[in-house]
Amino acid sequence: AQSVTQPDIHITVSEGASLELRCNYSYGATPYLFWYVQSPGQGLQLLLKYFSGDTLVQGIKGFEAEFKRSQSSFNLRKPSVHWSDAAEYFCAVRLSGGYNKLIFGAGTRLAVHP
């Protein structure tokens, strides 16, 4: 069955430090991959997506992610974290066919220390 794993439940970084959030997926076909961010009390906002082509994708708010087929990974990165990046981050895979349903990981909660 298709699944998305985010190994880190909580991550704490200092403001200005670099960030990498891990995401692994299990899916037989070429996946469509997404990263969403959820601020407290808010809905989910799309950060970036990968469908095909260049495996390094740029998103909003200075985030990027790299698709590595050999590792079944789609890790999210940011070179310098800002306090406003504190939120919960969700990786998701969309199933082709099956009416475009998204399967989400459990999420990683990011805390940023000043």
Q: With binding defined as CB under 8 A, does residue 30 bind another protein?
A: no
Neighbours of 15 (CB within 10 A): 14
Those residues whose C-beta lies under 8 Å from the C-beta of residue 41, and which sit 6 or more positions away, are none
Among positions 61-90, residues that touch another protein (CB under 8 A) are 90
DSSP 8-class letter at 114:
-
Exactly one of 46, 56, 60, 111 binds another protein (CB under 8 A); which one?
46
Task: Return d(Cα 70, Cα 40) in angstroms, integer.
Answer: 34
Exactly one of 29, 53, 70, 99 binds another protein (CB under 8 A); which one?
99
Q: With binding defined as CB under 8 A, does residue 25 bind another protein?
A: no
Q: With binding defined as CB under 8 A, does residue 42 bind another protein?
A: yes
Q: With binding defined as CB under 8 A, does residue 9 bind another protein?
A: yes
Task: Return d(Cα 59, Cα 70) in angstroms, integer.
Answer: 22
Question: Site residues (CB under 8 A) for another protein?
Answer: 4, 6, 9, 32, 34, 36, 41-46, 49, 51, 90, 99-107
